[in-house]
C-alpha cells in the first residue's frame, strides 16, 4: 500500500466556463476565492458547480477526469478520479440509492387492485389496446429504473466535468449455479474471505461480511452448513452461511437448533435469512448488460472489469469496503493515492404523483390535494434554506421543503423535520429534480463495513 493511500481529501468543486462547457474541477478554497472576487457564479447548489465569467474552454488546458461505476441492486457507487500512469486520485464520490423495490411494490399493488376490479360484477369496459407484445430488450420498470438513474448521473457528471472515460464493474452472480447447489470440494471450504468464488461472493453480500452466529466482522470467515452435511444437509446456497473460525469449530456437526437453543431470536433470524430469495442478485445480473450497452451508446470510451479485479485492487491499496471505493478501484490500476472522505448520498425520490386524491383504507376519498404543485413559488421537493429570526424554530434550516396551501411549510433537514415555517423566511436553493441529497463520511476502517 502506498504511503498516500491513507490520506483523505475534500471533494472538489465542479467548474464550467462562461459558455457552460466543463473544465477541470478545482479545490473548494479556490472556488471560494473565485466567488468572492466576482469571477464566478453559483451554477448549481448540490452537487456544487460554479461557472466562470471570464474564461472559456479555449483559454484553458483541460486534463480531464474519469468515472468509475460500481452497479448494485439497492445502491450504485460513482467515483470521479484522475489517472496518471495507473495512479488514481479520487476527486468526488457519489452513492446513488435506487427505489426499485418501491416501484416493484407499487406495481404489485396496482396489479392486485386490477384483479379485484375484474373479479367484481361491474360494468364491462372494453380493453384500451390488444397488442401487449413487449419490445426487444424490455426490462421491468423496477429494473429499468436502475439503468436509467445510473445512466442519468453519468450524463450529469459529463456535463459538469470533462469525462474522458468510464470504467464499469460487470457485477455477475450466477443465480442458476447458486440455486442448483454445485458441490464444493477440498480447498474451496478452506479459503479466506478474499477467495473469488461466486458462492462466496454472494454469501459475503448476503450475510453482510460477518459471522452469522457471533456477528464478528473483519476476521477470516468460513462456509458453514446450517444443517450439517454429515447429517443429511445439502450443498444448496440456502443451507450455507458464514461463520468465524471459533464458531465454526464450536458448532461442528451440531444441528443449528441445538447449537442456538439458548438464543431463539438469533435462530429464527438465521433461518429466515437463509431462505431469503436471490432477488437482488437477479436484479444486478439482469441489468448489467443493459447498463453496459447504454453506456456504450453515450459515445464515451467504456472499459469493463470484473468484481474479482475490483476486490483484488482494494486489497492491495488497503481500502475498506464501500460502494464508492469499489467504484474508485474498478479496472486496471497500480495504486490509489487519495480518496474523498465525504460521500454525496443521492436518493431517488421521484417527482411526485399524478394522483391528487387521498383515500381511506376502504377506497373512499378523504382528502383532495391542490391541482397546482407550486405554492408561493415553491414546490414539494425543492432544496431551500430557511432563516427564522424568532420563535421555536429560530435558526437556519436547510433541506427539502413540503409545501402547504396555507403558506406554512415543513422542511426535512439532515437532523429531522422542522414544521410550520412561513414562506417569507424561505429562500430557494435548487429546484426539485427527483432526488434527495445528504452527505456522510466515507468508510475509514475495515471493521465499519456498510450493508451491501
For position 242, which CATH number holds? 1.10.30
Gyration radius from the chain CA atoms: 26
In a domain, 363, yes or no: no
Instruction: Report the C-alpha gap between 365 and 356 in whole angstroms.
Output: 10
In a domain, 74, yes or no: no
Last residue of a domain, one of 277, 293, 326: 277
Residue numbers of the domain that contains 194: 175-277
In a domain, 170, yes or no: no
Last residue of a domain, one of 277, 299, 322: 277
Cβ 73 vs Cβ 291: under 8 Å: no
Closest CA to 385 of 429, 348, 349, 341: 429
- The number of residues in the chain equals 452
In a domain, 204, yes or no: yes
Cβ 80 vs Cβ 91: under 8 Å: yes
Supply the pTM of this predicted model: 0.76
In a domain, 300, yes or no: no
pLDDT tens series, the chain, 452 aa = 444 444 667 789 999 999 999 999 999 999 999 999 999 999 999 999 999 999 888 888 899 999 999 998 889 999 999 999 889 999 999 999 999 989 999 999 888 888 887 777 777 667 666 667 888 888 999 999 999 999 999 999 999 999 999 999 875 544 444 444 444 444 444 444 434 446 777 788 788 889 999 988 888 888 899 999 888 888 887 888 999 999 999 998 899 999 998 999 999 989 888 877 667 767 777 788 889 999 999 999 999 888 878 888 888 888 888 899 999 999 888 899 999 989 999 999 988 888 888 888 887 889 888 888 899 999 999 999 999 999 999 999 999 999 998 999 999 998 899 999 999 999 999 999 999 898 888 865 443 333 33
Last residue of a domain, one of 220, 245, 277: 277
Cβ 329 vs Cβ 422: under 8 Å: no
In this structure, what CATH number is given to the domain that contains residue 379? 2.30.30
In a domain, 448, yes or no: no
Cis peptide before 226 (omega within 30 of 0): no
* Domains contained in the chain, number: 3
- Give the sign of the dihedral formed by CA 326, CA 331, CA 333, CA 339: negative
**Which DSSP string corresponds to 256-278?**
HHHHTTT-HHHHHHHHHHHT--S
For 302-366, where are the alpha helices, taking DSSP H only? Answer: 307-317, 323-328
Cβ 34 vs Cβ 40: under 8 Å: yes
In a domain, 206, yes or no: yes
Partner residues linked to 8 by β-bridges: 339
In a domain, 389, yes or no: yes
Amino acid at each position: 500500500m502506498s504511503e498516500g493511500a491513507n490520506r483523505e481529501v475534500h471533494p472538489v468543486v465542479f467548474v464550467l466556463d462562461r459558455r457552460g462547457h466543463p473544465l477541470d474541477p478545482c479545490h473548494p478554497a479556490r472556488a471560494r476565492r473565485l466567488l468572492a472576487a466576482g469571477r464566478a457564479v453559483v451554477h448549481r447548489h448540490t452537487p456544487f458547480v460554479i461557472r466562470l465569467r471570464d474564461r472559456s474552454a479555449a483559454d484553458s488546458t483541460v486534463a480531464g477526469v474519469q468515472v468509475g461505476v460500481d452497479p448494485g441492486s439497492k445502491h450504485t457507487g460513482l467515483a470521479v478520479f484522475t489517472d496518471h500512469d495507473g495512479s488514481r486520485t479520487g476527486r468526488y464520490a457519489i452513492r446513488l440509492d435506487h427505489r426499485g423495490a418501491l416501484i416493484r411494490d407499487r406495481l404489485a399493488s396496482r396489479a392486485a387492485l386490477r384483479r379485484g376490479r375484474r373479479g367484481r360484477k361491474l360494468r364491462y369496459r372494453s380493453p384500451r389496446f390488444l397488442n401487449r407484445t413487449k419490445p426487444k430488450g424490455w426490462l421491468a420498470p423496477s429494473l429499468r429504473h436502475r439503468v436509467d438513474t445510473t445512466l442519468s448521473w453519468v450524463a450529469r457528471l459529463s456535463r459538469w466535468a470533462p469525462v474522458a472515460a468510464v470504467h464499469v464493474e460487470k457485477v455477475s452472480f450466477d443465480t442458476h449455479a447458486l440455486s442448483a447447489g454445485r458441490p464444493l470440494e477440498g480447498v474451496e471450504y478452506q479459503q479466506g474471505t478474499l477467495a473469488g468464488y461466486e458462492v462466496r461472493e454472494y454469501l459475503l453480500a448476503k450475510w453482510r461480511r460477518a459471522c452469522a452466529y457471533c456477528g464478528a466482522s473483519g476476521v477470516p470467515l468460513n462456509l458453514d452448513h446450517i444443517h450439517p452435511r454429515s447429517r443429511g444437509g445439502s450443498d444448496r446456497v440456502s443451507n450455507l452461511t458464514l461463520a468465524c473460525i471459533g464458531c465454526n469449530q464450536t458448532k461442528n456437526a451440531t444441528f443449528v437448533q441445538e447449537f442456538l437453543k439458548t438464543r431463539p431470536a438469533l435462530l429464527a433470524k438465521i433461518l429466515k435469512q437463509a431462505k431469503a430469495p436471490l432477488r437482488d442478485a437477479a436484479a444486478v445480473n439482469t441489468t448489467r448488460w443493459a447498463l453496459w450497452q447504454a453506456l456504450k451508446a453515450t459515445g464515451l470510451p467504456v472499459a469493463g472489469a470484473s468484481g474479482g479485479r475490483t476486490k483484488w485492487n482494494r486489497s492491495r491499496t488497503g481500502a475498506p469496503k464501500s460502494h464508492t471505493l469499489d467504484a474508485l478501484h474498478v479496472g486496471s490500476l497500480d495504486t490509489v493515492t487519495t480518496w474523498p472522505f465525504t460521500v454525496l448520498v443521492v436518493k431517488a425520490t421521484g417527482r411526485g404523483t399524478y394522483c391528487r386524491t387521498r383515500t381511506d383504507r376502504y377506497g373512499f376519498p378523504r382528502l383532495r390535494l391542490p391541482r397546482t404543485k407550486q405554492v408561493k413559488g415553491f414546490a414539494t421537493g425543492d432544496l431551500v434554506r430557511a432563516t427564522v429570526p424568532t420563535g421555536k424554530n429560530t435558526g437556519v434550516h436547510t433541506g427539502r421543503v413540503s409545501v402547504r396551501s396555507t403558506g406554512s411549510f415543513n422542511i426535512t433537514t439532515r437532523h429531522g423535520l422542522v414544521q410550520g415555517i412561513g414562506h417569507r423566511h424561505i429562500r430557494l436553493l435548487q429546484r426539485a429534480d427527483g432526488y434527495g441529497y445528504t452527505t456522510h463520511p466515507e468508510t475509514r476502517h475495515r471493521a465499519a463495513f456498510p450493508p451491501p
